Every structure is written in C-alpha cells, then in structure tokens.
Chains A and B, each alone.
Chain A
C-alpha cells in the first residue's frame, strides 16, 4: 500500500511546493469563479442533456437548465420502478385480492395487515375486510407483488409513498390502496360463475341437478 501510494502522481503532486501565485490565492479564486460563471451561463442559455426526461417541465423552452426544480418538476421513474403499492381492482371495482395472506407471509418487514371476510353471494367467497400496508415499515422490496397469486397487488403507480406528518398516516388502508386500471385474466372465469352455495340438508338428487359443468 505504502509503496503504491508513494509512486502515484497524485502523491507527487501533493508534495509539490505551492508557487507564489498560488500562495496569494487571489488569482486562484478568480480562476474558480470563472468556472462557476461558465457553468452558470451554459446552464442558463445552453442545451441541457436531452436524455433526461422531465415530467411537467416549467417554463416555455427558454429554460433549458439541467437542474430540475423538484418537486415542481419531476423526472419520471424508469419502467419497473417499485413505487407506491396499489390494490388492483376487478372490472366491477372490487379488489382482485382474495385475502390469501401470501403477500403478508412473504413480506420481510411484516408491514401488511389483512383481515379476511366471507362474501355470501360470490363464487370466490374470500375477500379482505381490512388490508393495510404500513408504508413507513415497507422496505420496497416488491416481494408482495411477486408472491401474489392473483396479480392483486402491484407497485406500478409510478409514484413513491408520500411524505406524511405523522406515523399513523403512513398506514394505507384498503380504500386508499384500491385504484388504478382494473385487471382481468383469462383464469378469472371462476369469478363469474353462479355462487354454488347450498345449505344442508341437501338431498342427493338435488345435488345432482345443481352441478353445472361441461
């Protein structure tokens, strides 16, 4: 280590004596200010790096400064960015979630709280009565999205969890999470069949008639 260090040009430079001009500082200060001024003018009238997309650019083409005036101006997140969760609705607006607890099981931060309930009149009878995510505890790993067998939870909102003024406000409930484009999958056929609920005592013949199928 020492050996390498001693031989590096940087080290040699460090050991150089400062010249008189450098010792006086004034000349060096002016040189520094010149660099700052160059960037200032360049930013003000020059062209910004056009690979950077900016949402909602303020100003009308004149302002080509590379610096983004966050939060008035925002860069879009890249595709696949794990943002704020949402509970995906079905076309009828109910959550796709069936309260299977897979996300809560996979979540390393244990920040998903679910209470399951039972529909009386739906073919898929299980649904979340409560579904809450504590976005402060969430480590944004996306395991919940991976774990979900129903494509019912996504992090595709493109926004991040908002700043809040107190901790309880960071716990988002079902109503707050449910939203965005509805999703239907071909395997969802089960959703739309008649609720095959019967109440005992059921006679054997009746049972035979109740069966649909192909």
Chain B
C-alpha cells in the first residue's frame, strides 16, 4: 500500500502478436490483460498467493512451443511471446472445462451464482459441448452451513482454494481447509470451529462458482434483477467502498467496491448487513403526536406543526441540535444551519455506540461521518458536545434531532423535554416520543458525502428511485423547517448544500460535489501519521 520505492521495471512482450509493455512482476494473465486479451482462470486471484490448481490458464510461449505453461504462475520476461489462442491451448481449455464439470450437478436453476458464475461463462466461451459423462455423478454434501453467513455446496465446488487462501492470507484467520483427496476432496471447516470470521462474506465473493453462498442473500433475488449503484458502507468510520444492489425500493445486498486506499476489494460481514436498516422498521410518513396519539399528517402539515412547536423557542436558550455521526456532510450542514437560525445553545454529536475494531478494515467508531460532522461544527464555530455523556440533555427544553442514533440512551431526559422534532430513519424509542417525526432517507437512498476516519471525502449515489412514504434526505427537511421558521428559502439540491459546506470548511475548499470521483479524495491536512497495522491507506504524511 505504501508507494513503491523502487521504480517499476517494464519489459516488452508480445501477446498473440500484439506488442505491449508490462510490469516485470506481472504474470502472463496480467500481461495478456494489458494487451486486451483474456486468459481464462478460476484459481488465480490478483490479491492471493498463486495456487495453480485449476489448469484453465495454460498458454503457450513462442520459446517453448507445444509446452503449456500456467499463465498465473509464470512471470513475463523481456521479449516473451505469449500465445493464448493456439490449438493446444484451446484443446486444454476445453478439456479442463470438461474435467471441472464431470461431477458438477449443473443445478444452475437453484443456484444463486447463476448469472455471475465463471463456470457458466467459461462453459459458453471455451467448452460448449454436451456432457460425455455416462455414469452417476459423485454426490457430496450440498448444504453445509459453514458459519453464520456462509453456506457451502461441495458438489458445485471446483477446488480452486481461493476461499482457503483468502482466510489464510487476507483475513488471517485460517478457518477453512481442503479435506480428502482426488474427486472426493472438498472444503471444510475445522471440528468445533465454524467459519465465523467477520470477513467470511468475502469468501463468497472470491468463490468463482456457486459453491459458497451468502445465507443473507440466498434465494432473495436473481442477480440480474437488481441494479448496482456505488455507495459507501455506513457500518463504521472506515467507509468501505461498496455497491448496493436494489430493485424498486428494496435493497438486496452490499458488495465491496475496489478502492486501494480504503478497503482494497473486501468488506466485513457486519457491513454487509447494514442495508437491512433501509428495508426494515422504517419511519415512512411524516407525523405528529406521541406514541398512541400519533397521526400521519403529510409533509406540509408536519412542517407547520414543527414550526408551531419550535417558534416560541427561537432565539431563547434551551434549544439543542442533536447531530448523529450517521448523517452525511449535507445533512449535518443542514442541521447546523437550522441551529444557527434558531439560536441553538447546545450542539450534541451522537451516533451508534462504539464497538470492536481490528487492525484491518473494521474501526471501533461505528459511524461513517464523525470526522465530517466535527469539521463542519468547527467551521461553523460551534462547540460540539458528546451525546454519550450522562445528562447531555440537561438544560434543554426543545430538541431537534438529525437522525436519532444514540438518543435512546437519554430516554428519561427526553421524556421531560417540552419539544422533540426528530428526523428519523427507523422506528425506535425516540421516534415514539417525538411530537413531530420527519422520515429521512437512509444513506443508501440518497446522494451525499462522508468523511472517513483518516479524512477521506467519499460520495454515495442513491440506490433506489421509488419513493418510500414521505422520506426525504435530512438536509431537505431542515431546509424546509428553516424556511417555515422565517429563514431563507430551502436549498433544493445536494450540490448547493455541499457547496455551502465547502465554502466554510477549509479542508473542503474548492471541491465540487459532482467532481468527487468514485474513489473519493483525501482532504488536505487531516491524514494521521499512523494507521492501524494492516489497514489499507494512502501514503501517510511524513512526520516532520
């Protein structure tokens, strides 16, 4: 992850007659990729050690005609001529595919991998002939629950060992192994030790076939029904880059998205489950009234009601703004603006309770944007108090909460408050207590920015377009509320809101919302000098 100190040595090779200059450390598969040629492979994975088990990648080189070499295992050398298309190579690919399929159950119709399965793709590309198997196929366990998230079908497994190598080398929790020999071999967990690593979901991603499946996604949808949109995981302050897959307004799964400086191509299991909060127990309609007296009254009347309740407090002490660190930069900016307009005397930062972190991807702070909220508050010149502290709500009589995470710890204080206006995503104890509840979109449903633990600004794209009740981004509600209370007209777009924040925060100066790339960017002056031991990160600033 650190910038290489030795300059990259390049060598010239030819792939099927196409001259191309490649990194001297490349293997033949990567060299061919640079020449836009595809060498098929199952067991090779750019981030794992070389196993050379599947034999699908065999190609010829001009200096050793007739001798097939493993494209994953052999490195390029100056002047090498790689041949990916000779009759011997074709015959090997066809034969290897037939071998892999000899005992394969071909139960694609009940296999969740269908549609993103390398075995299906390569069968079409390199084999495409009927089975010559005339005896019974070998039967193996079809549904082994390896752990809480992963289920294994030994019959579909092609024994590429990617999953084993992932657990050994990347997760560094060796929980999988190959057992038995020959066509009886299969992957197994160890006795008494399920696959319960927090990174187990990645084995499903690296598995090129449907042998490992994610139990959370199993049978929920076919992969070609869902749309993918880039977003950022809101499970912790690392801010792993992800894709969220959705159809209509239902989210189905999160998959890691490549970002060398944040999560490489991995993500943790907890993060994979964060989409559930978008599907379940949502506050859907704007409403007024506490607990059983509540009444869904629509956005316009809810704003009127909030205005009626809040107006007497404007400019008086006792107004507090609660900003959850789950808010996007724009939502936090909206809440701060509203606070300034009302003359709020207290600003509290809340969020999900801290949990366990590790040396790889998982950070202890379970909120994706604490850094962003802090920077905004600093720029606005307000003092952020911790929402975790005992008695944090003392002296408060009216509270506006931008997301309710963490507020439930103060239930007894909340009960004695005169006014609570909550911008809430999910139903919880707080949404039951608030006089006015305004439903807000989850991170995965809106465009917004987040700043991760080391100061990386990252953008998310909305996954779902179908409306969910009255839900709006948090900044939209605070804008409307501000306008109703006599402030300037509400800002209509997230771009303008970001521009407003960027104008105030020095670290964001000059950044335009639409120009933030999918990888995000490191904000100047925020990088720490030290990172968790194995965490992917940009080059640290040299300690002066």
Q: Which residue of A lies closest to B142 (CB)?
A: A196
Is A98 a contact of B135 with CB atoms below 8 Å? Answer: no
Q: Could you say which of B5-13, B183-191, B238-246, B463-471 contacts chain A?
A: B183-191
Is B140 a contact of A211 with CB atoms below 8 Å? Answer: yes
Residue from the list A100, A118, A190, A198 in contact with B141, Cβ < 8 A: A198
CB distance from B250 to the nearest CB of A (A): 12
- Which residues on the B side are within 8 Å of A204 (C-beta)? 177, 179-180, 188, 191
Is B139 a contact of A124 with CB atoms below 8 Å? Answer: no
Q: B4 in the interface, Cβ–Cβ < 8 Å?
A: no
Determine the distance from Cα of A39 to Cα of B177 in the docked complex, in whole angstroms. 87
Is A193 a contact of B139 with CB atoms below 8 Å? Answer: yes
- A interface, by DSSP: helix, strand, loop or mixed? loop
Is A200 a contact of B141 with CB atoms below 8 Å? Answer: no
Q: A150 in the interface, Cβ–Cβ < 8 Å?
A: yes
Q: A5 in the interface, Cβ–Cβ < 8 Å?
A: no
Q: A94 in the interface, Cβ–Cβ < 8 Å?
A: no
Q: Which size bracket describes the interface of B in this complex? A: 35 or more
How many interface residues does A have (CB within 8 Å)? 34
Q: Which residue of A lies closest to B114 (CB)?
A: A100
Determine the distance from Cα of A22 to Cα of B108 in the docked complex, in whole angstroms. 76
Is A200 a contact of B194 with CB atoms below 8 Å? Answer: yes
Is B136 a contact of A213 with CB atoms below 8 Å? Answer: yes
Q: A214 in the interface, Cβ–Cβ < 8 Å?
A: yes
Q: Which residue of B lies closest to A197 (CB)?
A: B143
Is A200 a contact of B146 with CB atoms below 8 Å? Answer: yes
- Which residues on the B side are within 8 Å of A11 (C-beta)? none
CB distance from B361 to the nearest CB of A (A): 24
- Which residues on the B side are within 8 Å of A190 (C-beta)? 105, 107
Q: Mark A132-151, 1 if CB is under 8 A from B, else 0.
A: 00000000000000000110
- Which residues on the A side are within 8 Å of B218 (C-beta)? 118
Determine the distance from Cα of A193 to Cα of B138 in the docked complex, in whole angstroms. 12
Q: A87 in the interface, Cβ–Cβ < 8 Å?
A: no
Q: Can you list 11 A-B contacts with CB-CB less than 8 angstroms, sorted by A residue number?
A: A99-B219, A100-B109, A126-B109, A126-B219, A198-B144, A200-B147, A201-B190, A202-B188, A204-B179, A208-B180, A208-B184
Further pairs besides A200-B195, A201-B191: 17, Cβ < 8 Å: A100-B109, A101-B225, A105-B222, A118-B218, A124-B110, A125-B110, A125-B143, A126-B219, A197-B143, A200-B144, A202-B188, A202-B189, A204-B177, A207-B154, A207-B180, A208-B179, A210-B141
